[in-house]
């Protein structure tokens, strides 16, 4: 199937299961210029699985071309969600290498909104960080100082799924350039990343927040400490 054929197959199936009454409210909620078909996430996921599981790619270049073709030519927001779903498919894990970083970077910069960026950060960039640690660590440190706010947010959120494997030195280093930012999406990202690690080590997050109380925004502090119970023993 050609890249164009794949996009048209996705569009056709999304249109078939669309709930038009939901399209405008979904677009309004996401504050999106791009319209929606009006397909709820569970149904969209089934469409992605049925269509994408039927395609194969001979090499990582073909896989990247297909993802970027869908992404660049999408007319509806769910079609960009499909591009992200293809980028995340486990059966193409061997293609998810450092060479795919520019692809993810383009999607982050041009997507420029939390529904796209957060999924790519946690599952695309996070996956690359696990398997290509040294070059990705350097890249995230660079992104943390980027003039692009969404690349900064990505550097902060890329370890969301790491739990005990979280590289705290990297996390704190990626937070540091944005710790005094007034940007809501950076303040929220800082709090979210800290809160996520608090499930693994609440004592460390209490310490970090206390030590940086004068620099972290109130929003970041609230988010970081939200799920830490007073009675919960530190580990």
pTM of the model as a whole: 0.94
Full domain range(s) for residue 185:
96-235
Q: Are residues 57 and 126 in the same domain?
A: no
Q: Domain tally for the chain?
A: 2
pLDDT in tens, 25-53: 999 999 999 999 999 999 999 999 999 99
The pLDDT of residue 228: 87
- CB 16, CB 51: distance < 8 Å: no
Rounded to 5 degrees, what are φ and ψ at 148?
Answer: -90, 115
Q: What is the DSSP letter of 59?
A: S
The pLDDT of residue 227: 87
CATH number, domain containing residue 149: 1.25.10.90
pLDDT in tens, 57-99: 999 999 999 999 999 999 999 999 999 999 999 999 999 999 9
Q: Are residues 194 and 115 in the same domain?
A: yes
pLDDT in tens, 185-201: 999 999 999 999 999 99
- Type and span of the H or E element at 224: helix 218-225
The pLDDT of residue 231: 38
The pLDDT of residue 230: 54
Question: Which residue matches tokens 């193409």?
Answer: 92
């Amino acid at each position: 199937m050609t890249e164009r054929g794949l996009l048209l197959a996705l569009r056709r199936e999304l249109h078939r299961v669309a709930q038009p009454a939901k399209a405008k409210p979904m677009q309004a909620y996401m504050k999106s210029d791009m319209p929606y078909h009006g397909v709820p996430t569970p149904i969209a996921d089934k469409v992605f699985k049925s269509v994408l599981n039927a395609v194969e790619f001979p090499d990582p270049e073909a896989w990247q071309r297909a993802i970027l073709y869908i992404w660049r030519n999408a007319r509806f927001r769910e079609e960009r969600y499909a591009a992200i779903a293809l980028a995340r498919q486990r059966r193409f894990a061997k293609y998810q290498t450092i060479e795919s970083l520019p692809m993810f970077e383009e999607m982050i910069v041009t997507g420029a909104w939390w529904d796209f960026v957060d999924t790519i950060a946690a599952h695309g960039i996070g996956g690359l960080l696990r398997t290509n640690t040294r070059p990705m660590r350097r890249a995230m440190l660079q992104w943390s100082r980027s003039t692009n706010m969404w690349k900064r947010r990505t550097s902060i959120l890329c370890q969301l799924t790491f739990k005990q494997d979280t590289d705290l030195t990297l996390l704190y280093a990626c937070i540091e350039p944005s710790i005094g930012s007034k940007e809501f999406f950076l303040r929220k990202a800082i709090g979210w990343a800290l809160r996520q690690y608090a499930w693994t080590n609440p004592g460390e997050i209490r310490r970090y927040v206390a030590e940086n109380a004068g620099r972290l925004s109130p929003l970041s502090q609230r988010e970081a400490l939200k799920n830490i119970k007073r009675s919960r023993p530190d580990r």
